[in-house]
Amino acid sequence: MVKLISGIDEAGRGSVFGPLIIVGLTLSESDVKMLKKQGLKDSKLFVGLSGRKKRNELAIEILDLTKDKIIIEVSSKEIDRTLAKRPLDNLNLLEIRKFYQILKDLKSSKTYVDNLSSPKYTVEQIRKLIHTNKDNIRLMINSRNKNMYSVSLMKANQNKMKVVIATKADKKYSIVAAASCVAKYIRDKRLREIEQTFYLPSLSLGQGYPNTKDIRVMKFLEDYQKQIKNRNFPFIRYNWEWATLQELLRIPEITLDEYF
């Protein structure tokens, strides 16, 4: 009998441009072992052009091998709306809601989840979601420590899913690394699609992360500051606390050289 396991991870949490991509996927244990031999690891550990090329190749192979997958794209607008509600809501709670949505729909008996803040907090929020949504799901804690909670979700159809929520799960469990690589692959493709949709120069959004040392990103801020100030780009997280962006939204239209 083929043993199946699932993993959940995201890409784009700290980005200022583009969506947050959350992926839940299921693979056979034998395929996970094979992928690990091919160099599968956490997406953040693939560096340089050769590293990104290898990660993309693995992501394509993983997608071809998946027995089940759920992909959620959280738009910059939804993230902005969430951040505007702080302290009543925040990005951690938004991600936990999406993770829980995947856990409910994913067909698996064992799922590993990359932790967002602390495993205890994540489990507490999932328990609240079950109660708030009046879902016919029972949550039972199997084991716990500071860095890992093992719980069981007993769904209405009596299918029990064991869920391991762990700190740095993308480095500890290859199935989570697989979800991480697929999420990063999809997000990078989405950034390139955004550039084409808005007629922006290729790679002008870089990897989407706030960095004053990224010449492409800083040039984008300089060349399109009027559109940014008018909030014409729906792919920007305008409530993101990146000082460079927030200053640009406040100041009169000047060049970045003058600004700095």
Burial of 102 (0-12, 13-18, 19+ CB in 10 A): buried
Please determine, for residue 255, whether its predicted confidence score (pLDDT) is greater than 80: no
Residue 142: count of CB within 10 angstroms of its CB: 11
Confidence of residue 236 (pLDDT cuts 50, 70, 90): very high
What is the residue-averaged pLDDT of the chain? 93
- Distance of alpha carbon 193 from alpha carbon 190, whole angstroms: 5
Residue 20: count of CB within 10 angstroms of its CB: 24
First to last CA, the chain: 62
Q: Identify the residue with better confidence: 214 or 62.
A: 62
Do residues 221 and 241 lie in contact, with contact meaning Cβ atoms separated by under 8 Å?
no
Percentage with pLDDT > 70 across the chain: 96
The per-residue pLDDT for 210 is 87
- Distance of alpha carbon 34 from alpha carbon 193, whole angstroms: 31
Within a domain: 207: yes
Q: Are residues 213 and 90 in the same domain?
A: no
What is the pTM assigned to this prediction?
Answer: 0.93
Do residues 143 and 150 lie in contact, with contact meaning Cβ atoms separated by under 8 Å?
yes
Pure H helices in 117-202: 119-132, 169-172, 174-197
Please determine, for residue 260, whether its predicted confidence score (pLDDT) is greater than 80: no
Q: How many residues does the chain have?
A: 260
Do residues 141 and 149 lie in contact, with contact meaning Cβ atoms separated by under 8 Å?
yes
Residue 96: count of CB within 10 angstroms of its CB: 23
Sign of CA dihedral 192, 193, 196, 200: negative
Tokens of 120: 């205890």
CA distances from 10 to 58, 137, 158, 201, 224 (A): 16, 24, 28, 26, 29
- Distance of alpha carbon 5 from alpha carbon 66, whole angstroms: 10
Q: Are residues 156 and 229 in the same domain?
A: no
The per-residue pLDDT for 195 is 97
Q: Are residues 131 and 242 in the same domain?
A: no
* Host domain of residue 239: 201-259
Which of 190, 218, 246 represents a domain boundary (last residue)? 190
Number of domains in the chain: 2
Confidence of residue 58 (pLDDT cuts 50, 70, 90): very high
Do residues 117 and 125 lie in contact, with contact meaning Cβ atoms separated by under 8 Å?
no
Q: Note the pLDDT tens digit of each residue in 64-102.
A: 999 999 999 999 999 999 999 999 999 999 999 999 999
Q: Note the pLDDT tens digit of each residue in 102-121.
A: 999 998 899 999 987 899 99
Q: Are residues 177 and 246 in the same domain?
A: no
Integer-rounded Cα Rg, in Å, for the chain is 20
Within a domain: 38: yes
Confidence of residue 213 (pLDDT cuts 50, 70, 90): confident
Which of 143, 167, 190 represents a domain boundary (last residue)? 190
The per-residue pLDDT for 117 is 81
The per-residue pLDDT for 159 is 78
- Distance of alpha carbon 2 from alpha carbon 29, whole angstroms: 8
Q: Are residues 184 and 213 in the same domain?
A: no
Q: Are residues 23 and 131 in the same domain?
A: yes
The per-residue pLDDT for 2 is 79
DSSP 3-state of 145: coil
Please determine, for residue 253, whether its predicted confidence score (pLDDT) is greater than 70: no
Tokens of 199: 């007629």
The per-residue pLDDT for 257 is 62
Q: Are residues 30 and 147 in the same domain?
A: yes
